[in-house]
Structure 1
Amino acid sequence: MVDMPTIASLQTPPGTGGIAVITLTGPQTRRITGEIFRPHQSQDPAAGQAGLSTKNSGMMQLGFLRDGAEKLDEAIVATLPGGAVEINIHGGSASARLVMRQLVKLGATVAPQASPVGFDPAHPQWSNPAMGWEMLTALPGAATLLSASAITQQWTGGLSKLAREVLLDIDSGLTSQALLAGRAAELRCAADGLELMRKLLDPAEVVLAGPPNAGKSTLANRLVGRAVSIVHSQAGTTRDWVREQAIVHGLAIWLTDTAGLWEVDHIVDSQAVSRAWGRIEQADLVLLMGCEKTVDMPAHIPPEKILTLTSKADALPSHQDRQAAKALRVSAITGEGIDALKNEILTKLGLCDINPAKPRAFTERQANLLNEAAQSISQNDLAKAQTNLTHLLE
């Protein structure tokens, strides 16, 4: 008898949302959940230090999802009737991917997620249908017009145009070695564009860090464009991190304001600092702020992930102004340096000067077919290259 699989299913649709919901059903549900989930404090003595409570269905527990010692995300886990489990995590697609990947490592099978597209195209013979469906599936994740344009232009031009041109070259007998080598390079370049397109659909995590009263919350409000963090002259106002989406020159990022980093004795303050370090560890980019004081980052955080800022530039004494000459000067009050900061953020993230019409894969399927077509061209197997590119489009 073949064992029934344990199914992990992402219930929430693609796109921006506050939470993501994953259900786990099947014979290995309790074992898998016990290995990935650690409750903060169990109220059920029978639960031990790991896994779910043994109480009736409907019980909810707060804790962390883990990959060994590494924390993946904070989660609320609920037992459902019939032994199923519901896992509620933060809504970023990166968090959902990490959790689903770990569930697979522990033995779960991922259920294919239904396409969010519930309508037929206006014309039954629409061009490039395979890429068209992928475009419609990806668009809910585009948070800005520039991101949406970068996706749609791959269908109307960009990637589809490149594929059609290579197919036409082959059909027309334009097969000189120099031309084919150039076409193979173009296809590989388009495949490599997947990394950038993923950043457009899954915005980078940027964290504001620094000592108390360095102006982190004021800068967060300035970059987001509205008051998302409480601002006060008293140090230590921010006790827990606040995460909001900010639009930087037409591109979305996740911006997290954190508690000030300092040596503390009070348990609440120590928890706030600990949670701030947790966000810093997971960041794609840390904006390290300081005016009168500075904080050293751990050696394992690469320098390229750190952008050092001199904050409160409008209020700096002249001697500190000279000392801070090597750091980017910003003032969230006057706006000094804000535009330069936005440019530096995009530069650090590799998102500067994006041309949305440039051919780029935006799904793994597309990238694989482009690389296969390039390899086939390099091996002079033009028939196989034609098949790869036809599958890419149709």
Structure 2
Amino acid sequence: MDCTCCISPKRRRLLGTMAALAGGFASGLPNASARANATVKGKSIDIHAHYYPESYCELVGSDGDKFGGKFTCDASTFSFQTPAGGLGPLPLKFIRIDERLADMDASGVDVQALSLSVPMAYWADRAFNAKLATTWNTAASAVHVQHPTRFVVLATLPMLNAHDAIDELERASELPGVSGVYMGTNINNRDLDDPLFEPVFARIEQLDLPVFLHPQQTVGGARLTDFYLSNLLGNPFDTAIAGSHLILGGVMDRHPRLNVTLPHAGGALPILMGRIDAGWNVRPETRRLAQKPSSYLRRFNYDTVSHSGPVLDFLIKNIGIDRLVLGSDYCFDMGYEQPVTFLDRLELPPEQKNLILGGNAAQLLKI
């Protein structure tokens, strides 16, 4: 689907290849020397930044039409609609890399980890979901090749078919700039401890790639329709549900080297962990774990998109500053225009602030 009103001219394919960037590290305490080296670089790394490539937009609006996908745009905005939900109108700087770079410079962000938000690759048939993921990953990698010091890639996978997801994982992990995997807090309303996803998590763990989650098709239904509660409450609740399934469903036990980052500062999960621990003490449904649920909190990383300094202070005190990574939710209205200066309210010493700004993410993403 051509959309000359909003898309810049086709990018030229660049020749050459680069070694794949593999991210992630085993759970446990951080390596002090590695973190010190990362901090010395002083780069700010935004791990929660969304991107919609031209080729992906065109695909949703053309071949995706028979599955209920639509893509429209005008001189300044674009919109999506799919059976899994819609977005928009959104600003065109989601698509235009030059405008994105200008925003990054203005906000003090040196590097963005590009990711696909709703609609992800979970809403059509098997072949088209795979094509969506391949198209997005290839296009995002091309942006890294054009700007290797400014962007890395969190690959998307067609998670509704494990064979296809692993095939695309193998292919995408060799693309320039791919440093991790991005997926929904649920996959077309399947929770992440569903046996369907077990072989995918196993291969991700083998490749030592970090996983980053983002809410989609959130809980609440019609009760969250008003007041934008589908986002204000639905997103943090869905993150808490995803984290709980990863813990209580045994995914984190079965994959001890799996490294997962929760969006929106972990959503409701950290603040409710005392209640979940209480349930573990008295409810047989939760007793498949050898350790209490709160002991798994350090298995996760947490972005800074909390909109609350006290929430980040709580995470630092109760989980650890080495588990916080910078995020902006670029460029949604519920994100940060100034993710770097937001950290000023924490009153941290420079070395600790630098860990959140980029040191922790550099370790996580191997950059």
**Greater fraction helix:** 2
Scaled by the length of structure 2, what TM-score is found? 0.27
TM-score by length of 1: 0.25
Instruction: Determine which structure has greater relative contact order: mean sequence separation of CA pairs < 8 Å that are 6+ residues apart, divided by chain length.
Output: 2
